[in-house]
Amino acid sequence: MDQVIETSKSVLSWEYSFLVFVAVLGVIQVAAANSGLKGLLFAPGAVRIRFWPFRRRWTLTSIHFSYLFAAVTVLPALGFFFVWNSHNATGIIQGSEQAGLFVLSTAAGGIFSLFASSFINQWRLQSNKTRAQGLEALKEVTWYQAVWRRWVRNSNES
């Protein structure tokens, strides 16, 4: 019996972590699109698209993509949390564990976003001129490019 309870707690923790991870990905995309951090976007370009049966073509920009992405990540995740107590009547994750899982999942979501966006944008963003520091640099380069230029190339040159 104890083992069953432990297993279900473990499943709940994974479920919680996964939902937070997914929601964080969506929030970062919307925030990055709104603040112009192109280096953080998963879909940085714009495409013209025609939705059947309409004849008109729409231009989908990175902001549209980010909101679409958020709609399929943040909203379902929050929906799950909205009905959590009614689905898991005894599914309580203790406050301290919850805080730890949230921080870990948010960090995982942030790190995944940094690496995935760096990979997706590595040929698109190639600015050599940026002098911006911190997140501001991600308006012109990817996170990997920024870190590599500052910490690897500069140390090799010196």
Partner 1 sequence: MSLDLRLFSWINGLGGHVPALDRLVSGLADDYFMIIAMCLVLVGMWFGTREAAERARNQMAVLKAMASLGIASGFVAWANVIFVGDNKFPGTSLHEIFNRSRPFVQLGPTVVHGFYQPTDPSFPSNLAAVVFGLALAIWLMNKRWGTWLLGMAFVACFARVYVGIHYPSDILGGFAFAVAGVAAAYFLFWALSPLVKLLKWILKALYLAG
Out of 1, 53, 134, 158, name the contact with partner 1 by CB under 8 A: 134
Should residue 65 be labelled a site residue for partner 1 when binding is judged by CB under 8 A? Answer: no
Q: Which amino acid is at 37?
A: L
Q: Is 3 in the site for partner 1 (CB under 8 A)?
A: no
Q: How many C-beta atoms lie closer than 10 Å to residue 25's C-beta?
A: 21
Residues contacting partner 1: total by CB under 8 A: 44
How many residues are listed for the chain in this entry? 158
Selected binder of partner 1 within 27, 63, 68, 108 (CB under 8 A):
27
Partner residues linked to 50 by β-bridges: 57
Which member of 17, 38, 42, 74 binds partner 1 (CB under 8 A)? 74
* Shortest distance in whole angstroms from residue 4 CB to partner 1: 19
Dihedral, 6, 11, 17, 20 alpha carbons, nearest 10: -130
Residue 132 to residues 6, 95, 135, 143, 150: CA-CA distances in angstroms? Answer: 49, 39, 8, 12, 11
Quote the least distance from Cβ 2 to partner 1, whole Å.
19
Q: In whole angstroms, give the CA distance from residue 150 to residue 5.
A: 49
Residue 133 in contact with partner 1, rule: CB under 8 A: yes
Q: Which residues bind partner 1 (CB under 8 A)?
A: 16, 20, 23-24, 27-28, 30-32, 34-37, 40, 74, 78, 81-86, 89-90, 92-93, 95-96, 98-99, 102, 106, 110, 132-138, 143, 146-147, 150
